[in-house]
Structures are given as C-alpha cells and as structure tokens.
Amino acid sequence: MDRLKGLPAFGFVAAAVLVALRLVHLGVPLVFPDARQGPIAVASLDDVRRRVGFAPLVPGYRPESLGVQPAHISVALGPHPTFAIVWSANDHYLSVTQRRGGPKPDHPLMARPLTDVPNSTWWATGSRVHLILERDGFWIAIDTSLGARDLRRFADTLAPY
Amino acid sequence: MIAAPWSAAVLSYAWQVTLHSFVLGTIFYIWTHRVVVPSGRAKRRLLVLVLVLPMLTAAVPGRASLEFAEGAAWANSARLLSIPILAGFRLEHVVFLIAMMAVVLTIGQEILPVLRRPATNGPPPPEPLVALVRSQPGWNNCGVAVYPHESVMMATGGAARRPHLFVSQGALETLSATELEAALAHEHAHWQAGRWFESHALFAVRLLQCYNPVALWVFREYSVEVEIACDAAAVRDRHPRVLARVLLRIYERTDPRDVAARAALRKRVDVLLGGGPADDALPQTTVAMAGAVMALVLPWIV
C-alpha cells in the first residue's frame, strides 16, 4: 500500500477539479447566453461542415457579376452554429447566412411571404432585398443588391454543398 | 470577429498545451499541498510531467472538431474563451495578452541572459583553482575564467563535453577554500547523473512553450529543484553549513528587489539545513499512475 501512498488524495483532487471544469462547461452558456464563439473566418466551404457540423446551403444560381469566388466565408460556433458566405464584386452583393435553431432573424413589420416560396419572409430596403427562409430547422437569411427576381432564384436553387 | 489564425492548427495546439498544463498544474499543485510533497525527486518528476505531458495530450488527433468539442469532450474551453468582458473584448483576448506577456518575459528573463555570457576579461584564474576544477570527474578539459565583478558568483556553461566554469572576482576574494570547494562541488553536480542533458532538454521544451505562463512558472520551480538536488550532491561529503554559508553570502549581495532570486536562495538554505531534499516523498508508482491517469483524462478537455 505504501507504493501507492498519496494516490487516493490525487484521485480526490483530480475528480474535484474535473467536476469544476464540467460545471464551467455547462454553466457558461447559461450565465453568458450572449457569449458568441466566432465568427471564425474559414478558407473554404469544405471546412464548414467539419466546423459547424452541418452541410452549408449555397445557391446554385449565381450571376457572373458576383464573381466566381466568395469574398468571405465564416462560421460561428455559438450560441447557435451559423454559416455565412458573401459574394461581392462589381458593386453587386450577395450574402447567405444559415443558422441552426434559435429565434427567427429580425425583420420589419412590413415584411411579407414571397409568393410560391414556403416559409419565407422578404422585404426591401433601398436597393437591397432581403429574404428569410425556414428550412429543416435552419434559418436562412439572404441579402442581395441584385433585385427581387434574383432573390427568388437564389431561394429556389439553395442546395447543400 | 475572432482572428482567423485562432482556427489555425498551430495556435489551436498552442492553446491546448496551455490549457492542459493549466489543468495538470492546478491538480498537482493542490494535491502536493494536501499530501505535503517537499523538495526532492518526486516533486521534480511531477514538474517534468506538467512540462512534457500537455505537449503529448494536446497532440492527440481528432479533438479539433466541433462535434468532439460539443459532444464527446468533458469540457470545451471555447465556451470559456467566448465570455464577453467589455467593449467587444472577450476572455480569449485576455488569454492572448497573457500569452504575449509570457513571451516577453521568456525573452527578457530567460533567453537574453543565456545569450549574454559573463565577461571573462578578468585576471587569469588561480592555478590551484584550475587544478581543483580539472580534478573533478569528467572535467579534465574544463575551461576556467574569472568574471571581473565583486558579486559572489560561480556558474558553468558550455557544451556537454566541453564545460566551462565562470567564477567572479568577488567569490575568489570572499569565499574560503572550503567554501570554494563546496560551490565547485555544486556546479560539478549540474554535470553529473544526467542533469545537464535533462535540464537542457526541458529548457528546449520550455522554449517551445514560451507563450505558456504555466510552463514559465513550472520551469522556474524545476530549476530551483535542480539547484536543491545539486546542493544535496555537493554536501554529501561535507557539512551542509559550508554550502549554506556560500548561499548566504550570495543572498547578502543579491539586489533586494530581486525577490525571486532571494526567495530561491532562502529556500535552498532551508532545505540544506533542514536535512536535505525528501526524494521519496511520493512513491514512483504513485507519480507514474497519476501521470497515466492524466494522460488518459486530458485529451477529453479541449
């Protein structure tokens, strides 16, 4: 037994510290609900699934004026896993944000459903149009400078990457 | 926006090493204060574990994914790092600041002093001292140089097979022959029993963790423990009071503002006069099992 002298005390201390760590792990989101993990810039769409745990939805339809490569891709790990992608070129702009769970993104009172697009809410501010979609537990927000007709095409061609 | 490099593999690994050494250091610190582990071999082994083990556990593959962090892991530090503090700053920014301060401290207090070798343009060393130095086992080619300064200082440097002893003018003028022998025995002990290789290997590990404040603290503790071990080796054939007198002379000439150096000297004298280090305060099996348990547990903390 002398060969193991001090080991029970080690077990007790290690268990206490690990329990404290677990409490911190569980308690932080409760005490700091606004604690955001991100956004974190990622290099490519291939990294998105690995980081946020779901396949990113991107519109298959993309006018050439937006450019080929996205200007920015980012993910946020909390409080709700979120993926965001932005194309920006030639004064044209398209942003798609996909969030798992949480409340419906903010929208003005005058926003209304987009005809023939289920679970949608759209509105315009100046030259920009905005669309919120609910798909399989995800909130998808599309924001573009390209106009309402393109907005519908973006919504219709959303597909997992 | 979290800076993109946070997601880079190297920085992620660096943070994981820091996190694991913090958890391991906390557990070992509380444990050794509960069971009272004085200076000695067991304490050195625990300090080595805190320095080395996190570099291994942080490298366990498959821990970087969100699925693991939010699913299988026991604790996800990303939650803690994302705590907002003030004006858009979060805990991760504080951690980053502390890491930068640790780098500055490492450069200023550890790397530069190593590079800044003492001036050796003093008078030639006394022949009896050179003869005494070269009579030590393995030191037949040891270089000896006098550091022209009134401080009481003796130190060694150089490569493994080409040691070099630096002794200050103040030490030559102040210390008696027996005290000089005791100080020399202490320096010689640094080159015995694999201490030179172990210390240099751990210094390399320490430099790899230059951003890690836990590693900074642990390596300093380890360095004091090595000094204590060398003190013990030096007084094996002589009375501890002789070496204690040398340490007290160094203490008297150390700048009172250098609190850390004076505290280390006081501790060494206390251990010397208190019967020497307690090498068997914890059995080897206990230390090995504690290390094995932590090697299994730490990968689950991300």
Contacts of A79 in chain B (CB under 8 A): none
Same domain, A121 and A145: yes
Range of the structural domain that residue A61 is part of: 40-160
Instruction: Please check the confidence at residue B66 and state whether its pLDDT lies above 80.
Output: no
Whether the link from the prior residue into A33 is cis, omega within 30° of 0, is no
| pLDDT given at position B111 | 86
Same domain, A27 and A44: no
Same domain, A22 and A71: no
Q: What are phi and psi of B167, to 5 degrees?
A: -130, 135
| pLDDT given at position A38 | 64
Instruction: Of B53-67, B110-124, B231-245, B252-266, give the lowest mean pLDDT range.
Output: B110-124
Contacts of B79 in chain A (CB under 8 A): 24-25, 28-29, 35, 37, 78
Same domain, A24 and A72: no
First to last CA, chain B: 21
Same domain, A130 and A77: yes
- Between CA B230 and CA B274 the distance in angstroms is 15
| pLDDT given at position B68 | 79
User: How many helices (H) and strands (E) are present in chain A, helices listed first?
Assistant: 3, 9
> Where does B109-184 show beta strands of DSSP type E?
143-147, 154-159, 162-168
What is the biggest distance separating any 2 CA atoms in chain B, rounded to whole angstroms? 70
B72 in contact with A, Cβ within 8 Å? no
Contacts of B82 in chain A (CB under 8 A): 28, 32, 35-38, 78
Residue A140 sits in a domain of what CATH number?
Answer: 3.30.200.100
Which element (helix H / strand E) includes A14? helix A7-31
Q: CA B90 from chain center: how many Å?
A: 31
Q: What's the rounded mean pLDDT across residues B143-149?
A: 89
Whether the link from the prior residue into B118 is cis, omega within 30° of 0, is no
* Chain position carrying tokens 């193991």: A4
| pLDDT given at position A131 | 95
Instruction: Please check the confidence at residue B120 and state whether its pLDDT lies above 70.
Output: no
- Strand pairing of A120-125 and A57-59? unpaired
**Position B216 confidence tier, pLDDT thresholds 50, 70, 90:** very high
Q: What's the rounded mean pLDDT across residues B266-281?
A: 92
Q: What's the rounded mean pLDDT across residues B200-211?
A: 95
Same domain, A87 and A116: yes
Q: Residues of chain A whose pLDDT is less than 50?
A: none
Same domain, A122 and A156: yes
Q: What's the rounded mean pLDDT across residues B138-156?
A: 89
**Position B67 confidence tier, pLDDT thresholds 50, 70, 90:** low
Check CB contact under 8 Å for B31 and A9: yes
Tens of pLDDT, residues A31-77: 886 666 667 778 888 888 877 888 999 999 988 888 888 988 988 87
Same domain, A10 and A73: no
Q: Domain count of chain A?
A: 2
Same domain, A20 and A45: no
Instruction: Let me know: does B282 contact A5? Beta carbons within 8 Å.
Output: yes
Same domain, A80 and A23: no
Check CB contact under 8 Å for A2 and B78: no
Exposure letters B2-32 (e unless 16+ CB within 10 A, then b):
beeebbeeebbebbbbbbbbbbbbbbbbbbb
Instruction: Of A15-29, B27-41, B115-129, give the lowest mean pLDDT range.
Output: B115-129
Tens of pLDDT, residues B2-11: 444 444 678 8
Chain B: closest CA distance from residue A118 (Å): 31
Amino acid identity, position B195: R
| pLDDT given at position A134 | 94
Exposure letters A78-111 (e unless 16+ CB within 10 A, then b):
bbebbbbbbbeeeebbbbbbbbeeeeeeeeeeeb
Amino acid identity, position B264: A
Check CB contact under 8 Å for A34 and B84: yes
Instruction: Please check the confidence at residue B1 and state whether its pLDDT lies above 70.
Output: no
* Chain position carrying tokens 């920015």: A72
3-state class (DSSP) for residue B15: helix
- A123: left (phi > 0), else alpha (psi -120 to 50), else beta? beta
Which residues, 6+ apart, have CB-to-CB distance to B140 below 8 Å?
B134
B278 in contact with A, Cβ within 8 Å? no
Same domain, A76 and A97: yes
Amino acid identity, position B159: A
Tens of pLDDT, residues B73-102: 999 898 888 888 888 788 889 999 999 999
B52 in contact with A, Cβ within 8 Å? no
Exposure letters B147-169 (e unless 16+ CB within 10 A, then b):
beeebbbbebeeeeeebbbbbbb
Other CB atoms within 10 Å distance of the CB of residue A74: 20
| pLDDT given at position A153 | 92
DSSP state letters, A26-78? HHHHHH-TT--B--EE-SSTHHHHHHHSSPPEEES---GGG-SS-SEEEEE-B
Q: What's the rounded mean pLDDT across residues B110-120?
A: 76
| pLDDT given at position B162 | 87
Measured CA to CA in angstroms, residue A52 lies from A80, B65, B127, B260, B271 at distances of: 9, 8, 72, 47, 54
Q: Work out the angle at residue B122's Cα, subtended by the Cα atoms of residues B118 and B123, and round it to the nearest 5 degrees.
A: 150
A21: nearest CA partner in chain B = B75
Check CB contact under 8 Å for A6 and B37: yes
B6 in contact with A, Cβ within 8 Å? yes
- Name the average pLDDT for chain B: 90
Same domain, A151 and A125: yes
Tokens encoding A61: 């339809």
Instruction: Please check the confidence at residue B213 and state whether its pLDDT lies above 70.
Output: yes
